[in-house]
Structure 1
Amino acid sequence: MEQMSQEALVLTMGDPAGIGIEIATKAWIARKSEQISPFVLVGDASLIEFQVGKLFSDVAIEIVTSVKQGIECFEGSLPVMDPHQGQTDSEKTLAAIELATNLCQIGAATAMVTNPIQKKRLYDAGFSHPGHTEYLADLTGAPGKAIMMFACPGLKVVPATIHIPLEKVPESISEEQLEYIIRTTIKDLKSRFGKEDPRIVVAGLNPHAGEEGSIGRQELEIIGPLVERLSSEGLHVTGPYPSDSLFHAAARQKYDAAICMYHDQALIPIKTIDFDRGVNVTLGLPIIRTSPDHGTAEDIAGKGIANPASLIAAINMANEMAIRLKETS
């Protein structure tokens, strides 16, 4: 296999009660077989040393003070950078995210990969953002709303709405919001995924894409007119399409990303096609950020049985995006 070029990545520990530290260590163990780009694990050193020592007694840890130092020792030991902030687990979780973000902003790291966090625990500690993605947008001063893309080999999907009840989805979809999502997706597909002329398909909201207004009018009044206007500008945007015929193998060959109207419309096909290797990519940020497409999995934390496949895919995708961004800059 051809050796992939490698960038300097930072990886957050995630929620200490979850599987983040375990799968990060497993990714480091697989660094040669998976050709994983060097990374520095950012988080509370005492927590990391305890969990790694409990599950992986033969893994050497080196506490580092810079990404450069961490990359230099990556071959022989798992590099850990401690923010030295926070008293509670929630504070330590956020401190790791903040340090990793800063390292990317100042150019010390080329991309960040975030392990899952437990939002309810953070909310109880006073966390005010809806989620990880919105927090990163705030930290980086992103000019617009950050967008979640979910990707696996063969499919990329972008939900226009995320964690809201289904009954609120229709009222949450606007032409302005959809236009921003589509344009941001096109921009990042060009700069970070190497797509010169991204092909975008847009799913309908209603069954059969509204069937000419007989099952809902969002396709006629919002989605369709927007797609027509963007297409008239020369953008490769088509739709709206019935979502039940958008994700089979033949259909997926005809586009680079699908814009979906709600969470499950986007996530069900991704998790059906490749449950273990799905990656969450944040679009619209001034830095590169990916994350495994799963939660903290506290029910199996500490047992040594967590699957690192999605994290490894997230690390490799972040590395590929960093390389492409450098080439197009």
Structure 2
Amino acid sequence: MKLARDTQSRGSLPVFGEVLADALPWIKEATGKTIVIKYGGSAMSDPELCSQVMSDIVLLKIIGINLIIVHGGGKDISAAMEKAAIPVEFKDGQRVTTPEAMDIVRSVMVGTVNQNLVREINRHGNLAVGVSGCDGGTLIADQVCEELGRVGHITAVNTEYLNAIIENDFIPVIAGVALGEDGGYFNINADVAAGAIAGAVGAHKLIYLTDVDGLYTNFEDKTSLISNITRDEAYRIVDEKCISSGMIPKLKSCVAAIDRGVLRAHIINGTTPHALLIELLTSSGVGTVIHRTQESYINDMHPIGGFAEKLSENRVLRQAEGSQISIDMDL
């Protein structure tokens, strides 16, 4: 026999209760919806962080969210290219991908990185399916330009295969390799792929896990972190180029996804413990959220505000009806 005093954590239970109560409206809002997560950076290369993020993804799946994971793999690709004595070169932030380099990209992204992520998720049960953008003709692309080689621009996203995976209660984990209109393969920027997929499947949200806390008006000033921004404001930031070059593809993809119907997009720091859960299931959040309009921003901050307001209205109505009944009875 064990006494409660020996098994219960003193002082922590009310805190746990508050956390769960805070999460409830956000869980209700997200359950049954589709969320696309672009996963990359240090959160993916650090084994401990990777394991934690995959565990959080499993938790989100358990509470009923349909998840699609799109991953990068730049560091692993560069390491493999160097090992194969293939020059690593970038132009305007994009990897120059020769046919030889494309073979490395496919091997690393579809083979090593993708399967490692699938394995991490499946430690918690058979929940994930590894997907190349070529599978089911999911991603179709053509060449961006000659000087970048096999770097692709997405021309079509076919969602049938992804929808079939989700309908069978699995999590598709997608490598950014596309089938070329010329019959070959193309290397696709994972940020761009995530935005295109989110728009095509009609995702509820798009989330980018990065190495920074979000968007800054001035990256050197850590107090200039932007917590919320509208689509139009995001357009202006891109046009004025007042953010780091690495953030521009992410922000452009966020805006493009919102233009295609995604409710909102998030940019958060994947190295922050449980960043996904904090951003999705609490009222505080940890990163930058891009909203469609100022009005949608107000509504987004109160996921069941309308429901609560309706309850309040009904309560007042019932009280008024009760008063009227008592008057009638008195008469």
Normalising by the smaller structure, the TM-score range is 0.3 to 0.5
Greater helix percent: which structure?
2
Greater strand percent: which structure?
2
Q: So what's the TM-score if we normalise by structure 2?
A: 0.33
Q: Whose relative contact order is higher, 1 or 2, with alpha carbons under 8 Å and at least 6 apart?
A: 1
Q: So what's the TM-score if we normalise by structure 1?
A: 0.33
For the pair shown, the structure with the greater C-alpha radius of gyration is 2
